[in-house]
Amino acid sequence: MNEHIKTKTMEWNGDELILIDQRYLPLEETYVTCKNHIEVADSIRDMVVRGAPAIGATAGFGMAIASSEFESLDKKTYVEKMKKAEELLASTRPTAVNLFWALKRMSKIIDENIEKTNLNELTRLLKKEALEIAYDDIKINRKMGQNGAKLLKNGDTVLTHCNAGALATVDYGTALGVIRAAIEDGKKISVYADETRPYLQGARLTVWELVQDGIETTLISDNMAGWVMKQGKINAVIVGADRIAANGDVANKIGTYSVAILAKKHGIPFYVAAPLSTIDLETPTGEEIPIEERNRNEVRYCHKSQLVDDSINVYNPAFDVTPNDLVTAIITEKGVVKDNYKTELPKLFE
């Protein structure tokens, strides 16, 4: 396996993690270099990098960087410092389960090797594991894309919400990966992108990515989704997920639930594309998924323009939960699950 990786979202050069700064796209293309695990944690919390699989991969590199920071210490202090680093990374964002999934993978490497190896070697193993998470993510997205592409017909128009593309993953994307794969299969697919207030991931990131790939894309504001469906412009909705509970309830970007209800009303299939690392069998239903509440200024301001006075009361949940009965199918790298999620999702892990 290559010891470096470079995609649109991130670059790992063996020592540092360089992230495209998603806060300022598409008008400014700038990069943030993380030289220590605290900078990695800050980048996740501040949404330099965002999207469930990208957050997971970033946290993996965060643990690898932490190990090189602490490898000259004695083993006992190293373990204490690594635990603290893991806790810091885990505290950044609560909803996307990929973050905790990746941290668990990294700490397993420490637990399995701390007795039998020296700390330089442990850093090497952690770097290898982080790279494996990143390279696997690309492979998984491509497989998921192939599985989901079969659900789309030549000429379909897909509505998507938020950004579940290359920028939300290491590369290729989940929901946008399905669209990309269908196009690679020779189908003509066009996209309606919800702008996705308040953070505008749809307007700023999805449109940027798709237009770069030459995919026909139309931007709409969130409140237009119902009307474009009523006009018969949409054949399918595809979104990503931050956490899928064991019963198939789906936590995703705020606004996804409304889109799912609109899709149901208009008889449009509502698909969720997500890797197994987003499925959390330990969380029985959507009720138990922690929903992040973000800074209220994200709503008081629209990107950089202030809309209302800072004193105005605001509620800013960053995610919502779509109940499983609104989900037509969950597309994963292991196959497509339609219905009976409670019995079918665990089978994917067998």
Catalytically active residues are 242
CB 21 within 8 A of CB 31: yes
Which residue shows structure tokens 């008081």?
A: 300
Does residue 98 have a known ligand-binding role? Answer: no
Stretch near ligand MRU under the rule CB under 6 A, chosen from 111-119, 150-158, 161-169, 261-269: 161-169
Number of shown-chain residues binding ligand MRU (CB under 6 A):
18
Q: Can you tell me which of 127, 204, 253, 300 binds ligand MRU, judged by CB under 6 A?
A: 253
**Least Å from the CB of residue 110 to ligand MRU:** 27
Note whether 169 binds ligand MRU by CB under 6 A. Answer: yes
CB 309 within 8 A of CB 318: no
**Least Å from the CB of residue 39 to ligand MRU:** 18
Other CB atoms within a 10 A radius of the CB of residue 117 amount to 13
Q: Can you tell me which of 85, 159, 183, 241 binds ligand MRU, judged by CB under 6 A?
A: 241
**Least Å from the CB of residue 246 to ligand MRU:** 19
CB 85 within 8 A of CB 103: no
Note whether 318 binds ligand MRU by CB under 6 A. Answer: yes
Q: Kindly identify the residues of this chain, within the stretch 219-238, that bind ligand MRU according to CB under 6 A.
A: none
Q: Please give the Cα distance from 279 to 249 (Å, whole number).
A: 10
CB 224 within 8 A of CB 267: no
Does residue 93 have a known ligand-binding role? Answer: yes
**Residue 26, preceding peptide bond in cis (omega within 30° of 0):** yes
Does residue 188 have a known ligand-binding role? Answer: no
Does residue 51 have a known ligand-binding role? Answer: yes
CB 153 within 8 A of CB 183: no
Give the residue closest to ligand MRU by C-beta: 240
Site string for ligand MRU, 104-143 (x = CB under 6 A): ----------------------------------------
Q: Please give the Cα distance from 155 to 217 (Å, whole number).
A: 13
CB 22 within 8 A of CB 205: yes
Q: What does the angle CA 284 – CA 328 – CA 256 come to, to the nearest 5 degrees? A: 75
Binding site for ligand MRU (CB under 6 A): 50-53, 96, 162, 164, 168-169, 174, 201, 239-242, 252-253, 318
Could you list the residues known to form a binding site for substrate, using ranges.
Answer: 50-52, 93, 201, 252-253
